[in-house]
A and B are shown apart, each in its own frame.
Chain A
């Protein structure tokens, strides 16, 4: 078994299972911060899946998109945090 096959049949299913489990938390998540952290982790796992795809298909171009996605995940969490902070202050 070569490395491409191992990444396709060994590692991608594990990452897919992780995405499913995190999505269950996203649907259940009793509060809004729970959902925000699940989306953050979902995007992080998405970066991992992109990198695995770039290994399988020998396409290093996917790595650039992974970097942009990391930036978007950080900015998204930051803006959600700002929204929560404003909401908490206006409730007081």
Chain B
């Protein structure tokens, strides 16, 4: 019974990893690729780790497997978010059918605010107030 459960969970995990790999190859855009790699990769490896925990059924090894799973689930979104943001800043192109780009407006507003602060510095009366 536990063998069957282990094989089932391992198969689902391997299929998730295969889907992530196909998505890496087929997705049209860097940002979509990041999304696929993070979700598919961490889910697939997590399921394989759960299969290992069922196979050994030992307290120490189950704790180790859950620690690796926890670490991957925490760090994968952080690195994906950082990489996506930096790629946007270094102007990696978006897909032609992307319908929504909230970060562009935010960056425009930030640049406008910076220009305003610079103008205030050039004006001596307002600079005293700052």
Q: Which A positions have Cβ atoms within 8 angstroms of B?
A: 2-3, 6-7, 10-11, 14-15, 17-22, 24-25, 31, 33-34, 36-38, 40-41, 44-45, 47-48, 51-52, 54-55, 60, 63-64, 66-67, 70-71, 73-74, 77-78, 80-81, 84-85, 87-88, 91
The tally of CB-CB contacts under 8 A between chains A and B is: 155
Instruction: Report Cα–Cα, A13/B15, bound state, in Å.
Output: 11
CB neighbours (8 Å) of B126 from chain A are: none
Complex A-B, nearest 4 residue pairs according to Cβ-Cβ distance, in ascending order:
A18-B21, A21-B21, A88-B90, A77-B79
A63-B65, A77-B79, A81-B79 known; A41 and B55 CB under 8 Å? no
**Judging by beta carbons under 8 Å apart, are A85 and B86 in contact?**
yes
Q: Whole-angstrom distance from the CB of B91 to the nearest CB of chain A?
A: 8
Please tell me the number of chain B residues within 8 Å of chain A, measured between CB atoms. Answer: 51
Q: What 18 new A-B contacts, CB under 8 Å, besides A33-B87, A81-B83?
A: A11-B11, A15-B14, A21-B21, A22-B25, A25-B24, A33-B30, A33-B86, A40-B79, A41-B24, A44-B72, A45-B44, A45-B45, A47-B72, A48-B48, A54-B52, A55-B52, A77-B79, A77-B82
Instruction: Report Cα–Cα, A18/B40, bound state, in Å.
Output: 11
Residue of A nearest to B27 (CB): A25
